[in-house]
Structure 1
């Protein structure tokens, strides 16, 4: 199988590493909310003909490595993902809307994006193991505070 995809007149391989957070970086993406974010990203990416290569939903941020067709801009994809997933979360978990800090916005305004090139394996491994590294650093912090 080729690393490149094709459309009628173009061969392409556009992959991006994207990171975004809930508003005020609240640690809200856990349990059922985190699972729903995970499902939503897969559903909405497939609607835009994007392929999720790696996805890691942490309690306070999301890492996504995605293959995007050349007809779709990253800002359009992110607007779609964040907008649709926020609506879905607010409908499925009404208590989220009642938190005064949200102001009808679930996600922070911005996001981080980087193109994935020759470092693809490194970036995908980083996303896959992000949670493990974060837990290790939290444990080290707790140990240093306790001593």
Structure 2
């Protein structure tokens, strides 16, 4: 990924972010998984956040993203998790009553990508996605 620029800034701010549904429930499969992928992609476009790699696994989401320096990571995650919850409940109202309005757990994991290569993060995310696909095929939907 090349350096990006704002009016007076050249930047390369890349992060690896992991977040989970409330109680780490294994619910991210089937149509919900596809909807979450679309929702996250849409919300990132709204904020000019580039998704470099990503995977929606059965019980967590991995993102490798480039966030402009004018947006702090905690603000972006509050926006992403808050708006995506509303959009998920709009598409899947049956989930709304299960966890008292919160779809995502309160926290998240974030690390800057710099001490390891982009390829290593993308390889890790791809491996997690493969593992999740294997687990998804083993589980049965209700």
TM-score (norm 2): 0.89
2:50 corresponds to which residue? Answer: 51
Give secondary structure in 2 for the equivalent of 1:108. coil
**Cα distance, 1:120 vs. partner?**
1.5
Give secondary structure in 1 for the equivalent of 2:110. strand
Deviations 1:72-121 (A, max 9, x none): 0001110111001100111111110132xx01100000000000114211
1:130 corresponds to which residue? Answer: 128
Task: Give the length in aligned residue pairs.
Answer: 134
**Cα distance, 1:130 vs. partner?**
1.1
1:113 corresponds to which residue? Answer: 110
Deviations 1:43-95 (A, max 9, x none): 00010011000010001000000001010000111011100110011111111
Runs of 4+ in structure 1 displaced over 4 angstroms?
none
Supply the RMSD in Å over aligned alpha carbons.
Answer: 1.5
Counterpart check, 1:82 vs 2:81: yes
TM-score (norm 1): 0.86
1:104 corresponds to which residue? Answer: 101
Change (3 A) 1:134 1:40: closer
For structure 2, the 5+ residue unaligned runs are 136-142
**Cα distance, 1:134 vs. partner?**
5.1
**Cα distance, 1:8 vs. partner?**
1.1
Alignment of structure 1 residues 59-70 onto 2, 5 Å: 59-70=58-69
For structure 1, the 5+ residue unaligned runs are 139-147
